[in-house]
Structure formats: C-alpha cells, structure tokens
Amino acid sequence: MEDFFARVADWKFDWLDIPAMLRAAELVLEYPMVDKDPLTCWTQGRVTLLGDAAHPMVPRGSNGAGQAILDARALAEELARAAPQQALAAYEARRLAPTSNVVLENRRNPPDAILREVYERTGDKPFGRVDEVISPAELREISERYKRVAGYDRDALKQQEGTR
C-alpha cells in the first residue's frame, strides 16, 4: 500500500480522511487493470473460450461486455450452421483476429480517448461544460472511431447481419 499511499496522502476532506481510512483498513486488496497478449487459438477439440476467457482486456469502453456479446452471437450463428467442431473452428476464425485487434489498439489508443483529449485541452483546469472544450461533432467522431475498432459500429453490425 505504501507505493500507492503517496498518491492519496493529501486527500483529506472535512467529511472524510482518505489516508486515515486506508491506514485503519484491516486489508487492502489491489486489482490492477490489465490485459493479456492475444492468444493464438481459443479452441481445443470440443471446448472453446469466449469473452474475457478468450481475450482479457482493459475494462474500458464496454470492452468485455461488447466483445463477449459479439463472441456469443458469432458462436451461436456458427453452431446453427455446422457440426460442433466445425462451428467452433469457424467461430474462432471469425472472432480471433478482431478481438486481438481490439486488445492491441487499446494499448496504442485507449478507449478513454475523450478523457485524455479533454485533459490535454484544459491542462486539467476546471471548466463548466464539456462542449466548451470539445464539440459534439468531435465527441461523436471519437466515439464512432472506437466503435469501428471494437466492431460494433452500425456498418460492421449490418455487414455481420448480412453474413448470416
């Protein structure tokens, strides 16, 4: 805890003393946000991975939930089309590269790009409304760019709909 404590040592409010609260805690657990390098395969025989088991990634931008939903959809579609082992292979072929891309892109340009952009533009100074710092059009573009990377922009979802 000592390596973390320095960051919050001056967080004392009239209603809450964070350093005192942490020092009084019986146990402090740390859960770092991490991802893992993409796997080369998810399937062995009649067993496959889905969601975080297949591609753990930093939980930003609804990564885990969004990718798990896309995995489940692809897996269900492939199981409806083919025998289990062929379906599992097709599911993996369909989802392995896109999810690996999300993990790697999130390392290059995290999905909290809007927060970073606002921070850079304001120098971390207070402001009244976010649209004083960044326009609604810019917010939409940042959001749409991430949706394209993650595979849940409208065009990608419509294209997937057409492949069923």
Boundaries of every domain in the chain? 1-30, 38-108, 112-159
pLDDT at 152: 81
Q: How far is CA 5 from CA 17, 73, 116, in A?
A: 13, 44, 24
pLDDT in tens, 146-156: 888 888 888 87
According to DSSP, the residues that pair with 12 across neighbouring strands are: 17
Greater pLDDT, 45 or 156 = 45
What's the angle, vertex CA 37, arms to CA 1 and CA 152, rounded to 5?
Answer: 105
CA distance 95 to 61: 18
Q: Name which CATH class applies to 38-108.
A: alpha beta
pLDDT in tens, 92-139: 999 999 999 989 988 887 767 888 889 999 999 999 999 999 999 999
Kindly tell me if the per-residue pLDDT of 76 is higher than 90. Answer: yes
For helices 154-162 and 136-150, angle between their N-to-C axes, nearest 10 degrees = 30
10 token code pair? 């001056």
Mean pLDDT, rounded, of the chain: 88
Supply the pTM of this predicted model: 0.70
Average pLDDT over residues 33-51: 91
